[in-house]
Structure formats: C-alpha cells, structure tokens
Structure 1
Amino acid sequence: MRKTKVILTLFVVLFFIGIKHVSAVSSVNSYILKNGVVPASEQINYRISMQDSVNNGGIKMDFKAGKPQLVIVHDVGVEGSKIDNEITYMVNHQEDAFVHSFVDGNQLKTIAQTNKIAWGVGPFGNRYAIQIEQLRVDNKAAFAKQITSLANWTANQMIQYDMGKPKLVSINSKSLDGNLASHENISYKWGGTNHIDPVEYWQKRGQQYFGQNYDMNQFSELVTYYYNKNSSIKTAHYQAITNQINVNYQAIINQTGRNDGLYTGGPWRTTAQSLTAKERAPRYSRQQVTVMKTAQTKGVTWSEVALTNGQTYWVDSRGLQLLDTVTNQINVNYQAIINQTGRNDGLYTGGPWRTTAQSLTAKERALRYSRQQVTVMKTAQTKGVTWSEVALTNGQTYWVDSRGLEKNDRPLNLAGVSMQQKQWIDNNLNNVKIIASQNNIFPSVMLAQAITESAWGQSELAKNANNLFGIKATSDWHGATYQVKTREVAAKNMTVVDYTGKKISVKKGNSYYIYANFRKYRAQADSLKDYTVKIRNNYPITLRASAKTYQNAFNGLQNSGYATDPHYAQNMIQRIEKYDLNVLD
C-alpha cells in the first residue's frame, strides 16, 4: 500500500487527541446536515484477484466469523493523488496490500468483495474488517462530501452485515468490542501495524475548513445518524423474496424501451445494499450474460446475471432476452450440399440461431451458396431443430439449419483401381478428411498427392517408412530416417553426385538418381499430419481460404516450387478429376 505515514511512536500526543477528544458540537457534521450534503453512490468494479485462494497461494480469505464485523477507516497519507491512480497502483501491487474501497470528494469506488477479507491493517484487524481508504481532498466542499459519503457507506455496511449500531472499538481490550475503528485504533488495540491514519488528515482539514479538529468520535455520531436514517427507511421498504432458485442459462440484456437498474445484494429493495442501483442496464445492452438465479418480489421476476467482466447484478427479467440452449452437440465429418429449394436459411456465427449474442442475426443467406459442397463439422439441437456447422469452400464456417442441406453420399470413382489400392484408400480416407479439414486444406489435394507420391501406398517409402509424401529428413528433423534411391529432375544445367557416388552432368529438365534420407513415421496418419505442417508453413497460398479451388491450390504449389516436375500441377488436377476426389471437398 503506497502511504507516507508517520509511525505510531512519533505521534502519541495525536493519539490522545484523536481518540479521547469528544466535541460537544461537531462543526463538520453540523455543516453536512444543515446543507443537506448528498453522499456519493457506491461504484462497484471488483479488480482484486488476490481474494481468490487460487491466486494467492492457497490463503483462505474468509472473515473469522464468516462475515465482516468491523469497518476500518484509512487515508492514503499523500497529498494531491487521484482516486483512479491510487486504485491502479493498489491493483498492481495487491500481493502486498489492498483495501475494499476508496473515497474522495466526489466518488466512492469499491474494488474488492466486502464479504472477503482485505490486507490493509495487519493480521488482527484484517480478519474482522471491511476497509476503506480516503484520498486527501483540498477544499471545504470536497471534505464535507467525502465525510458524508464515508459515513453513509459505513452505515450501510453495518446494516448489510448486521453489525449493529455504530460503536467505536476500545483500546483497553484485545477483544472485538466495537464495529468502527480508524487505522490508529487498530495499531493500539492489536498491533501488527503502526499507522495512525486518519488522525492527522482529519485534524488538519477540520481545523483548516471548519475551525475545529475532526475525529473518530464525531465521525461515529455521523455514522449513527445515517445508520438510524437508512435503517428506518430501508426496513420500511424491504420487499420479501419468494421462489428463489438456482439456474444456469444464457440471455441477452435487451433494454429496448427500458432503463433497468442493476442491483447488488439482491433484487431491488430487498436488502440495504439493493435500495440503489449500482449501474444502469442500458450500458450493457446486447451483451450476453449468464443467468445464475431467479427470484420474485410482489409479482416481479428478477434474474441474477454474470456479465462478461465477471460482475454480478440483479436485474428485472423483463429486461432480458433468453437464448436457446444447445443440446446434443457432437463433432462429425462428412460432406453435404447446400440445398435451398423452397428455403431461405440464414448462416450464423457463434452458434446456432439465438444461442449466443453473436448468433442473433444471420451473417449471410444460404441461398448465395446453393448447390455448393460443404464439410459438416458439428451438429447440435435447439428446441427440436437440428443445426449443422459447415465449412464452405472459401474456408468460412457457419451454422445452418440442417434441413437446408442434403448429405453428399456420392462415392469416389475408383473404377480400374486394384483391391490392394482400394484397401489403402479405405485405411486412410477418414484421416485424410479429418486432418485436411482441421488444417484448411483441400482433402482432394492431400489425397491426390498421397496417391501420386506413394504409388497408392505401395512405394518403398510408404511401406517401410510410412512416408506418403517423400518428405526428406532435413537438419530440423529429429526422428527416425530411412534411406532410398530417388529420382530428381534438374531445375537447370548442373553437376551432381548420383546414387553411385559419381559426378555427372545433367541438363535442365533431365532426370537423375541419388540416395537421400527421408523421414520415417510410426503410422501413415503421422505422415498426413506432418504434410499439413509443411503446407501451412511453406505454401500457405494453397490453403482453402487462399486458393478457393483445388485447381488454384495445385497451381500455387507448382509456382511456389513444391515440385521440380514442370507438369506436376496438371498431373495432379487430372488425377482428382479421374477419380472424383473433389467430392471430398
């Protein structure tokens, strides 16, 4: 905690003034009540992660009695600082110290959950108290507003947590014998800390602006005023909660024509904390929320919701739009045709229609892609409607009503292919479809290359090394290797060492043979996966999102130098068309 505070032993005199002095009439309190100074509304934005034992090394952050029993008042100890700067500093150094709230001459901000302990006043005080820091203000009106806000907030904490009427702790007993204290009180009562705030700050500001020192006794009187006022008002207006249940579903904040409040501590007017809205729901309009509880008060249904920033509030359920629940979602992999005959289905992102905030409106219409072949990756249900997540040939993925698809069961054209070759296709086809789809690669391109470069899985490399693409063992390969004689085509007139160890001259376009080390895999599926790494890293132009068609993919490979054979792309395209491999795309 960033504070420039004078240690306890240097201010014994201030202690006796701050603790023992009782003013017959408080000039500060009189000014506040006479002028009707209005307390600032509490702004809640929980930013302290150290209250979670997961983040603090397993330390339990529960109060000794299960709830706070005391409010402790601090001041930051430095002049001229700003509330947001102090909060940011504390958040960034919360592993050292933090309090629950801050107050200046205009705002009161809570940054830590008040039902869990803070680290601001030593081990003895921490286990009992909600703690608040004051910024040092520099004018009369700001000081009056600050004290008003502080007293009102303190009274509300006492009401909310049933601490009883305000009572200053004593310094003569080690037991908890009150519910209100300054940091100075705790230093003398329990130790573990040596700060004496806010004595000096209150004395100087009280004397400067009101001609009288301000102290904890006067403050206790003002807290008592707000305690009595707020208790009588709030008790009279509390509403009973009925039919409260735990739920778990998604909704959208819909504030069209509304201006609902967001409440903490319960639905509106059910607790002291919930008499005033912390925020307005229109600020979060169209945001997706998780509904955790529902409850009723005099015929009004309320929902406790969790925002995307982690904050939880109660809101009138009429200000929410419920989202459909997704059930029976499963991963699949098969081909289909978009069939929009007599239909005009929407294409949705983020989930099936009305299951997320993103999916409330269609991004496109399926009619635009009618008769296009797609890969179905997932299916799911919402209220009896089955949805499919599909990948278009351009690489985009959408959710569409499954009734707007027809399954593409057209098989590969394997006429003239041997039984051994068909068996190899059957063994690898599912892996080809899954691995290609996961990596934005045309399955037809992957399979055509595998057929050509492995001779339908019958090449020496394929059988002895599970290497379907002739990928060589370069210096970055740390796995097993396999050596084999291979044909190369000269890209220019050159001299090479052939497989016999002799130097030979080769003209551009002519073939020659060498021995080379190739990668050896445990299974042919591993070769398919390794192939995708090579394509994505070295030939991204051939990915579905870039190439759009398998023809463009092969031409991109050719132009990028994937193969030395000048007819490589043409041969691959012809192979796809001969065996109808494009039905996989």
Structure 2
Amino acid sequence: MKLASTGSHILRAIATGVAVLGIGVAVQHTTAHAESVNSYISSQKIGHATITKSIWSGFPKYKYRNGVGKPEGVVVHETANSTSTIYGEIAYMKAHYSNAFVHSFVDASRIVNIANTNYLSWGAGPAANQRFVQFEQVEVHSKSAFAHQIANAAYYTAYLLKEYNLKPNDAAYDGKGTVWSHNAVSKFLGGTTHTDPVGYYASAGRKYFGQAYTMAQFYQQVKRQYNLLHGSSTSTYAKATYQKGSGSETAKLSSSYTKYRLYNHIKGTRATKKYTWTRSKAYAGKRVYIDEIGTKTASKSKWYRIRFRKSTSAQKYWVYKKALNFGTLTFNKDLTLQKTVKTTSNTATYNHIPNTHYLSKSVGSTASLQGQTVNINCEGIRTIDGVQTTWYRVVPTTGDPYWINATEFD
C-alpha cells in the first residue's frame, strides 16, 4: 500500500467495522535483454531471507471467518511507492492501522512479519480480509534486487501455505485458490478495485529482464519453493561437512578476493543468496573473523564462514578459501625435543595452530603444565605480513597431541 506520509493514496471502506486498504501500482516502460526472472533466480542460486518476527502488540486481533489460525490463503500486495523503505512503511502502518494494515513486508533482503498471522488484517476489502494472510512488497530498483525480492516473496508465500496446511492453487483464473494477487481479489471478491502487484511486476520485469513478469510466473516460483519446503524438489545440491573453530580466529582478505563472492551458505549446497563486497567496505588485507570451515564432499573445496566485526553477533558470510590469506605455514616434523613450560605460563592449548587454514579450538591450558618438561614432535611456523609465530606440538603420555606457543617455554 502506498503510504500517506510519502504522497500516497489509501482506499478506505468500512465493512462490519473493519477498514479496508486498496493498493495501487506505478508502471515504468524501459527495456532490457529478455531473460526470465525465475530462470535468473535458479541460475544464480538465489536463496531467501530469514523471516524476522517483529510482532507489534498494538494491532487488533479479529478471527478469520473460519476461526483463529485458519486463513484460507495468501494475498500478495505491492506498495505502489517508488521512494519508500520497508521500515518507513512499517512505521507509518503502525501509526495508521485503523485505516489499513497487513501482516508482513518484503523487500530484496528482508521478510518482516509485524502482525500475528493467526488473526486477520485489513488490506484488500472485507471479503479478502476475513480469509487471507496479506503481505506487502516494497518497490526495489535493480535487477538483482527485484530477483531477490521475488525469491523472498515466493518463499514467504510458500512458507505461509505450509504453515497453515494449505496447498498451492492459483486463484487468478477462477477466483478459487490459495495464492491471490490484489488484482484477483478485485476481480472475483470485490470490495476493492486495485490491481497490484500486476503493474509493478510487469514494469520491473520489462525494465530489468526485458519482458513483463506475471503473477502466473510468480505462482510457479511459489510452487517451487513449496516443493523445496516439502522436500520434493528435483534440484540436486552438493553435500558438505562442517568443522567449527574457536570463533575468534582471523585471516585477511587476499589480493584476489574480488574474484569471489560472499554467500549466506556454501555455494551449491542449497539455494543461496550472494552479496557484494562493497556492503562490507572490503579491501585486500582487511581483517576478518572466522568461526567455521566447510568442505564440499565431492570436490573437497574449502569454504570459510567469516564476519567483518569481532562481535559474534555480526552478520556471517561464506567465502571460498582463495578469498582469504592465512599467510604461510611450514613444519619441521619428526622432532624429538623436550622443553619446559614456564612456571608463569597460563594460556590456552589448541588442537591446531590458531589463525591458520585448519581452524582450531582450545583444548586446555598451560596453567596445569607450569614447570613441567614435555615431549615435542613437531614445530610449526606461521608467517603473515613478515611476522612469524612459532608453535610446538606436545605429545602427552595419554590423550591427543596439542599445540603451545613457543613463547610459553623456557
């Protein structure tokens, strides 16, 4: 719905005390090389955003015509506002919910659920309001953003159908189904005259993909996502094994990092979403923090999960190993050394040398070894930016070997 705070119009009708929102469209006419949006989503392995639950308690709670938690389908809307943002739309809706509100908002990178979907909203006329969950799409302005938004909207529609034990059924042809546009509501149920998201889909499709995008094509994407959720997809994804590290290890972006991309999952292991480096202010030599390594089962290629801030709550991305620089690691093996741990030593011991491509975990502390002489069978030297650190692998009488920094020995 196009919000009044940004030069909008809102259709209001009252039916049994419930306000109704109509939704408009804005159409642009530009051309691009013809390409299917759905094919682009598949070829680029575009995934979907995680649903953010941000339920506002201020919305009223009225049951659907069949009862609480019993919607009969989903209505797909579009805001018809080329300048609004998802959080601007949400803020205005909260302030004016008596006129109209929907359950959720979707853009290229977010799915934000603001109203409990077990209760009705009012955004498409009295007949639709008492039957359907409803969500808005905020207009986006690039080829990638539109494809990601469609992927998010299709996933969310499929998710809602699965959540309420409904099967996909396109209502566009006979007014009987579970997947509705506002246009179909206007055509078959009445109480509103708006046609979104038909115009927005057509315009964005022509502008960014060279051909109009349609609700029929969107419905096919919904079915694909529904099948994925039910485990009946014909897509074959690569398998991978995972190993967590301490979570605080670091590496640097390599000189060739721009040849690779950031992903929300290891590329090829599932439907993935990719990101550009510019959003993270990346540059060669920038320090990143690593908490997990993934190895593709067939190709044995290595991938690392990184973040750009030390905080473990920072957004995480998967990158191919060549995007990272761990420095060099050399070993002097088959040593038969004995060294004595300093009486003041109190630092962690590790299963691997930290801050290397192996990733490591703390397995103990040198505090329990103070003053003791230990047996060593390997020396490891890590070099990055000309700085060397030396580590020794200790072989205990019982248990697994572990690594101690050379500075902890006399």
When normalised by structure 1's length, the TM-score is 0.34
Structure 1 or 2: more helix by fraction:
1
Higher relative contact order (CA 8 A, sep 6+): 2
When normalised by structure 2's length, the TM-score is 0.48
